[in-house]
Amino acid sequence: MIKIFGYELKRILKSWLFLAMLIANGVFAWFVLATEIVMGIAYTAPFSVWSYCTYIGKTMLIAVITVLLMLAGYYGKKQKQVEILTLATPITPAQQLILRTAVLSVCFFLLYIEAAVLAAVFYSSLFQYTSFGAYVMPSVLLVVPCFLFATGLGHILGRVHQSLVYLLLAILFIVGLGSITNAFDLFGVGYFSTYPLTLPVDSSGEALYVMDGAWVAARLVYLVIGVLLFIVNVRIKYKPTRA
């Protein structure tokens, strides 16, 4: 199982799609940092949790797009053609799904790490700011539910038809543009750039970071839905279809 995971991961990481998206993610992340985040989000410092989470929300869109493109590949014509061979292996479809999701999570994580490292370089070189510990909890709450929800839904839709994954990709892209500003904002771009404006400020005029109950609840909802979708995916009996 671990060996297959290693092979699958190697295959995906060496693919042109991942490499291209890794580069695109890096360029986009730096562009966001250098043009928007540097000015500070919602009048807060560029290195505030609000600014950082807005930045991560923006780059997460690229990460989700990458993961969904890869996921769509699992439900493509080529994969269906080799299905008869993969089904003949001792790996069950459920195990295969877990394996693939694990590979996707590594890719997603790598893309996040790339963005986080760039932010760390940016903050430390420009502002000599290195207190990154405050970012950990909000980042986890932002990133994990987003991944689980997108891949869970992607797998379900991919089973129906590959094109539905692309439809999901398009919908998430529109959502990611930041038009939703309430706690249910999946990527958090709209939420993190507007919520601080409603908060009281400290003596220096800065809106301090507070973990909003509604937002945490919304993240947990996404997390639970994601996990449920994953369980449903694992439990549903796989029916091979003709290529």
**What's the closest the beta carbon of residue 128 comes to other proteins, in angstroms?**
8
Start-to-end CA span in the chain (Å)? 26
Judged by CB under 8 A, the stretch of 8-16, 94-102, 163-171, 204-212 that binds other proteins is 204-212
Only one of the segments 1-9, 37-45, 69-77, 151-159 lies at the binding site for other proteins (rule: CB under 8 A); that segment is 37-45
Q: What is the total residue count of the chain?
A: 243
Least distance in angstroms from the C-beta of 15 to other proteins: 17
Site for other proteins contains 32 (CB under 8 A)? no
Which span (44-52, 159-167, 174-182, 228-236) binds other proteins, by CB under 8 A?
44-52
Does residue 234 touch other proteins according to CB under 8 A? no
Contact call for residues 147 and 107 (beta carbons, < 8 A):
no
121 binds other proteins (CB under 8 A): no
Q: What is the DSSP letter of 193?
A: H
Binding segment (CB under 8 A) for other proteins, from list 57-65, 148-156, 202-210, 220-228: 202-210
Check the CA dihedral 31-35-40-41 and report its sign: negative
| Token pair belonging to 235 | 């439990």
CB closer to other proteins, 90 vs 205: 205
Residue 124-143 contact track with other proteins, rule CB under 8 A, x = bound: --xxx---------------
Q: Which two structure tokens, joined as six digits, stand for 205?
A: 């005029």
Phi-psi region at 188: left, alpha or beta (left = phi > 0; alpha = psi -120 to 50):
left
CA distance 207 to 182: 18
d(CA 95, CA 99): 6
Residue from 22, 46, 135, 152 touching other proteins (CB under 8 A): that is 46
* 28: contact with other proteins by CB under 8 A: no
Q: Smallest distance, Å, CB 2 to other proteins?
A: 37
Among 4, 12, 24, 38, binds other proteins (CB under 8 A): 38
Nearer Cβ to other proteins (45/225): 45
Q: How many CB atoms lie within 10 A of CB 141?
A: 20
Longest Cα separation, the chain: 67
Helices (H) and strands (E) in the chain, counts: 9, 0
- Residues in touch with other proteins (CB under 8 A): 38-40, 43-46, 126-128, 201, 204-206
